[in-house]
Chains A and B, each alone.
Chain A
């Protein structure tokens, strides 16, 4: 039987990436990160990200093909991130994928970026259903219930800011470097929860909110500065992180209460690298029937391996796009089969 070879491209934010999966074995996973460039600006600059994708797209494809020791003719199908993400950034990966599909006459598979983050966990362990995916990143905060493979039901989401966005903004007001989540995680380990911040509302729904907490920290910092009081940055980081993670964990607890059939919880997205979240969610489900999968750190940042993984499942279901495919920066995960 012929091997199934998926070549995947990802360019939704600040990493240009290409990966190759041969019969579910990851043989190449190349990432060209732009983080150092964006660090200077304290956040991702969309136009600069798009420019760098154009400069790096061939580099990652070429390196991936060489690592896998295959040629494009050997590839079975091409998977690409169609959204969500930065529109100009998505365009580069999509055009590259479409051009390869045209030249080599290969099926084109549009992949939802967050589905990718969820499926990154399959590089650790097979997914078991029904599962609850906790999708936490700079752009998204969602609780996704999955009854089976490729079935995504968003049962809770943020009403305002994404959790990662609040980490980045709090980090900025505390004068910490980008990416803020990493800096807060590190400093919080040295700090104590001494600052009083508003506790999350218990409204009985699975929706979350981070803008109030973020504003409370910013106002508190400004007030302390006005009164010439010294801010203990590690303590502020710890106080903020405790509340932010508790809000998430409370909603996860409520979700597993409301959906008692959940067998597995998976973390997905950039904030899933947060060490306190990892530790606490494992603790919350110790001695229960629910297993928790923690993705390896390399899967918490953007990569194309996870896009290839979803692409492989979509290939089995014959979910292909024609060459008029375009990007959708606001693509909803429930609509992953709808790309017209």
Chain B
């Protein structure tokens, strides 16, 4: 069983290849505002390397946001077309959940600009606090009240060191019936802002 795993919600371009629920290969590098050019060629390269025909993919796992608006639409467009064309399942997972640290209660954060953060708290893919937007002051206050929680994500914007997860490994392990997309035509990005 071949899983194609995609994430373009933040500065990095993440493309992973899963075989029988194991992450066998992936690419992950900073690709800010160049994901549009690079994502499909990276997918193609992984397929060539592992001698996989693009039509052999059995499922798609994708981050649905929150994050960069234009960025997340790149992976989501690819996921929609893929799932529709081959009539295969698509799993859409929170981009914040994907940042979490295994077996730890994780405060997952992403820069939402204007001194705000996308914020969610997760443990092993389970939601403790749902994705929302908080001011950076609120985030820091929450973190100071919960020193036992792990801060996750690229937190340079908060002057903090965040745990850097393997997003693709997380996405593959968080795939479940609960985040399986019922109707691929209706799959939308999660923006958290109007």
Bound form: Cα–Cα A50–B39 in Å = 19
Q: B40–A98 contact, CB under 8 A?
A: yes
A105 to B36, CA, bound (A): 19
Q: Is the CB of A54 within 8 A of B36?
A: no
Q: Is A120 at the interface (CB under 8 A from chain B)? A: no
A95 engages B78 (CB within 8 Å): yes
Residues of A8-63 at the interface with B, using a CB-CB cut-off of 8 Å, are: 47, 50-51, 54-55, 57-59, 61-62
- Residues of A whose CB lies within 8 Å of any CB of B are 47, 50-51, 54-55, 57-59, 61-62, 72, 87-88, 91-92, 94-96, 98-100, 102-105, 322-327
B24 at interface, CB cutoff 8 A: no
Contact B37 A324 (CB under 8 A): yes
Would B44 and A323 count as touching, CB distance under 8 A?
yes
Shortest CB distance B72–A (Å): 9
Interface of A is mostly: helix
Instruction: Knowing A62-B84, A102-B54, A103-B82, say if A54 contacts B189 (CB, 8 Å).
Output: yes
Residues on B with beta carbons closer than 8 Å to the beta carbon of A326: 34, 36-37
Q: Give the shortest distance, in Å, between B83 (CB) and chain A (any CB).
A: 9
Given A57-B80, A58-B185, A324-B38: A103 in contact with B86 (beta carbons within 8 A)? yes
> Which residues of the other chain, A, contact B185 by a CB distance below 8 angstroms?
58-59, 62
The complex places the Cα of A47 from the Cα of B189 at a distance, in Å, of 12
Q: How large is the interface on B (under 10, 10 to 19, 20 to 34, 35 or more residues)?
A: 20 to 34
Q: Given A100-B85, A102-B54, decide whether A58 and B73 contact each other with a Cβ distance below 8 A.
A: no
**Is B188 a contact of A55 with CB atoms below 8 Å?**
yes
Whole-angstrom distance between the Cβ of A102 and the nearest chain B Cβ: 5
CB distance from A4 to the nearest CB of B (A): 21
For A98, list chain B residues within 8 Å (CB): 40, 78
Closest to A88 in B: B70
| A96 x B191 contact (CB < 8 A) | no
Cβ contact of A94, chosen from B36, B55, B186, B191, cutoff 8 A? B36
Pick the contact of A58: B54, B184, B189 (CB < 8 A): B184
Closest A residue to B71 by beta carbon equals: A91
Contact of B81 among A87, A99, A322 (CB under 8 A): A99
User: Is there a chain A Cβ closer than 8 Å to B32's Cβ?
Assistant: no
